[in-house]
Amino acid sequence: MPEGYFNTCPLCGSKDLRVVKEYTRHHLVKCGNCSFVFSHKIPSDSELAYVYNTFFLIQQSVSPITVKRYHELLDYFERFRKTNNIIDVGCGDGYFLDEAKKRSWNVYGTEYMESKVEFCRQKGISMAQGILDPQNYAPDFFDVVVSIEVIEHINNAKEEIKNFHRIVRPGGIVYLTTPHYNSLSRHVFRGKWNIINYPSHLSFYTKRTLRRLFENSGFTLQRFATTGLSVSQAKLSLGKSEGRKTVSVSDTDVREVIEGNRALQWGKKLANFVLTAFNLGDTIKAVFVKK
């Protein structure tokens, strides 16, 4: 392969890379040894700058439902609180860390865009710009490392996970979410699945490949779920929605209807139980513990 392409699998090092025909325009290959699916093309700085400067603008607020979900997650994190330090790697606009700060966590974040770094700093979040640099923190400094919808943007995550291992204490955790390659949505929409989107999304995980990535770096899997089926992503995959505003409203409306109806809430729990049991949900949600 020419310069700017992976010649071997970033996860296991195998040279057995097989083109995924449905996603050739996104440069996807699947490793014949470990089954990891990723873009073998490495995007240029200009390609990445276009994506981040166009689509990752500052969001001025989050919904009350999202805040409620944040606190449910923070309730779970309480059992791991010892150093009182938490970091959100790729924290976006810092709204999750805002809620953690209200609960007396010492909050840290990283982000690429200078505007987001400054926005978070103004809210009292200790920020670092760029990729996670473990030299910025003492070893074993954090109880919890959070990585929400970030790892799919990275071609080679092995170094990232090793850095997580350096900064989280033994017995501490990494909480991670990422799109699920084996989801029902991908099987239904196949080549039209909107989540496959070069150069924004570069790596696609399953339980098997994500577990391998973390266990090879000194973690053990504690919790794993695949949840949700996104209405907005389905509309985009079918070409029935135009513009980010329309997409956002679609998912928000669904969440609000479910949140206001107890029967629908139980239905959602049942659906997520089934999606996890059959490994078909749109989103992987996993907790890994440092040995």
Is residue 205 included in any domain, yes or no? yes
The helix (run of H) or strand (run of E) holding residue 224 is: strand 219-227
Instruction: Look at residue 90 and tell me if it is in a domain.
Output: yes
Supply the pLDDT for residue 265. 86
How many domains does the structure of the chain reveal?
A: 1
> Is residue 182 in some structural domain?
yes
Task: Judge whether residue 106 has pLDDT over 50.
Answer: yes
206 or 265: whose pLDDT is higher? Answer: 206
- pLDDT averaged over every residue in the chain: 90
Sign of CA dihedral 100, 103, 105, 108: positive
Q: Is 56 exposed, middle or buried (0-12, 13-18, 19+ CB in 10 A)?
A: middle
pLDDT digits (tens, 9 = 90+) for 127-164: 999 999 999 999 999 999 999 999 999 988 999 999 99
DSSP 108-135: EEEES-HHHHHHHHTTT-EEEESS--GG
In a domain, 16, yes or no: no
Q: How many C-beta atoms surround the C-beta of residue 278 within 10 A?
A: 11
Has residue 33 been placed in a domain?
no
What CATH number is attached to the domain comprising 86?
3.40.50.150
- The predicted pLDDT at position 262 comes to 87
Quote the CA–CA distance of 144 and 149 in Å, as a whole number: 16
The answer to whether the bond into 199 is cis (omega within 30° of 0) is yes
User: What is the mean predicted confidence (pLDDT) over 273-290?
Assistant: 96
Determine the Cα angle at 147 with ends 37 and 115, to 5°. Answer: 110
Q: Which of 23-27, 136-140, 261-265 has the lowest mean pLDDT?
A: 261-265
**Domain contains 46:** no
- Structural domain boundaries enclosing 203: 63-290
Q: Which residue has the higher pLDDT, 242 or 115?
A: 115
44 occurs within a structural domain = no
Instruction: Give the pLDDT score at 168.
Output: 98
Give per-residue pLDDT as tens, 186-210. Answer: 999 999 998 999 999 999 999 999 9
The reply to whether 81 falls in a domain is yes
Percent residues over pLDDT 70 in the chain? 91
